[in-house]
Amino acid sequence: MLVGMQEAPRIFDCDNHYYEAPDAFTRHVPKPMQARCVQWAEVGGRKRHVVAGRLDLSVGNPLFDPVGPAGSLHEYYRGNPAGVPAAEQMRGNLVPQPAGYRDPAARIATMDEQGIRATWLFPTLGVLYEELVKDDVEAVCALFEGFNRWLAEDWGLAFEDRVFCAPYISLADPEWARRELEWALAQDARLFVMRPAATRTRQGDRPPADPLFDPFWSLVNESGITAVIHTGNSGYSTNGYSAEGFGRASIGMSRRPSIKNLALGRAASDYLFSLGCDLFFERFPNVRLASIENGSGFLGDLFHHLEQAKARNPWHFKEDPVELLRDRVYMSPFWEDDLEDVIERMGPQRVLFGSDWPHMEGLPEPRDVLAQTRGLASEVADRFLFSNTNELNHRRPAA
């Protein structure tokens, strides 16, 4: 623990990332399944992933070594005062990958230097690949079961009670999903992660609160583990408005703006609206759900449409869907969002700090967020920076 840590603000960063090891998607995937999941290929002298038999170009360098420095696009996302395209800002700006990006002990040492008490860790590539294999349910299960075993082996799910990794769980096969959650609970997982999207199953596409998934959500409700929807490839079509794929366009890094820039917020908003209309939080009153790296700018429209749904269908709802969402959902805004606005909309007990470190679009250092909390009351700032995530990090079994 750092000297003087007691006087410094406590920080539990709810949105950190690792960069996957080269064999993260193959080490524990049976060889007969690998061609249906993820393989490596060399194309034009560069290593690329082949996903479900197709070359994937959504990430320029899936080895991430060298890699862009943490927060190196901070100014671009802050409004790009230099007026320079992101690709030009990245050019010539790569560095050898630091040890803490793939090694948990080195990550703890980095956290000590940063003054970070604890963190949640999420995939970088892992949140992109369900969309690419979703038509093959068996491959989805094999890929992410293998991925989660790699995660437990290389990182652990609760390393030194400071680094907490989220296994990725898909609902593509509901029975597999429940077994995978049972495995995660036995590994001391405090959270798990999904993409905000409807799920393709053997019975077709299904919304997250479909009764098909009730056995899974019943275990989430019973165990009190925190569920997370984290931004990723949710499969959103541009409906002809843009020909750009997921990649850089979805996170605003292409050379021109497009409708793809809206995909992340749309995905999370639709997911949460679906839960509200399907009475998810009435049916599973002990489930806590965190929305991470999806932004918060959609909240006004989301609340408006839920209020409309209730007004037009009063017989359908036993409880106010907006108030249920405010009570059960925790929101981690983008660092560039209006923090005071999201606190006002969600309440100070439901907003989480996430830096997206060490991604290039995140904060250069997690503690850079303190400049945004100076106007907050000390109790509100502590809730945002530490207490809310710390509470979610402890399972809350159903009574």
Q: How does pLDDT run across 120-129, given as a tens digit for each residue? A: 999 999 999 9
Note the pLDDT of residue 251.
Answer: 57
To the nearest 10 degrees (0 to 180), the angle between helices 299-312 and 321-328 is 140
> 362: which residues sit within 8 A by CB, 6+ positions away?
15, 70, 71, 74, 335, 355, 356
Note the pLDDT of residue 240.
Answer: 77
By CB neighbour count within 10 A (0-12 exposed, 13-18 middle, 19+ buried), where does 69 fall? middle
User: pLDDT tens digit string along 177-199?
Assistant: 999 999 999 999 999 999 999 99
- Give first-to-last CA distance, the chain, whole Å: 35
- pLDDT-derived band at 110, boundaries 50, 70, 90: very high
φ, ψ of residue 165 to 5 degrees: the values are -95, 145
**Confidence check: pLDDT of 2 > 50:** no
Backbone torsion region of residue 4, taken as left when φ is above 0, otherwise alpha when ψ lies between -120 and 50, otherwise beta? left
Query: Strand, coil or helix: what is 77?
Result: helix
Measured from the Cβ of residue 394, the count of other Cβ atoms closer than 10 Å reads 10
What mean pLDDT is predicted for residues 20-39?
A: 98
CB 301 within 8 A of CB 269: yes
User: pLDDT tens digit string along 310-359?
Assistant: 999 999 999 999 999 999 999 999 988 999 999 999 999 999 999 999 99
Q: Which of 220, 252, 256, 259 is nearest to 236 (CA)?
A: 259
By CB neighbour count within 10 A (0-12 exposed, 13-18 middle, 19+ buried), where does 46 fall? exposed
Task: Note the pTM of the prediction, 2 decimals.
Answer: 0.94
Edge to edge, the sheet with strand 226-230 lists 191-194, 226-230, 289-292, 329-332
Q: Is the peptide bond before 66 cis (omega within 30 degrees of 0)?
A: yes
**Confidence check: pLDDT of 396 > 50:** yes
Where do the domains of the chain lie, and which CATH numbers do they carry? 12-21+99-392 (3.20.20.140)
- pLDDT-derived band at 9, boundaries 50, 70, 90: very high
What whole-number distance in Å separates Cα of residue 364 and Cα of residue 141? 35
User: pLDDT tens digit string along 48-71?
Assistant: 999 999 999 888 899 999 999 999
What mean pLDDT is predicted for residues 275-293?
A: 98
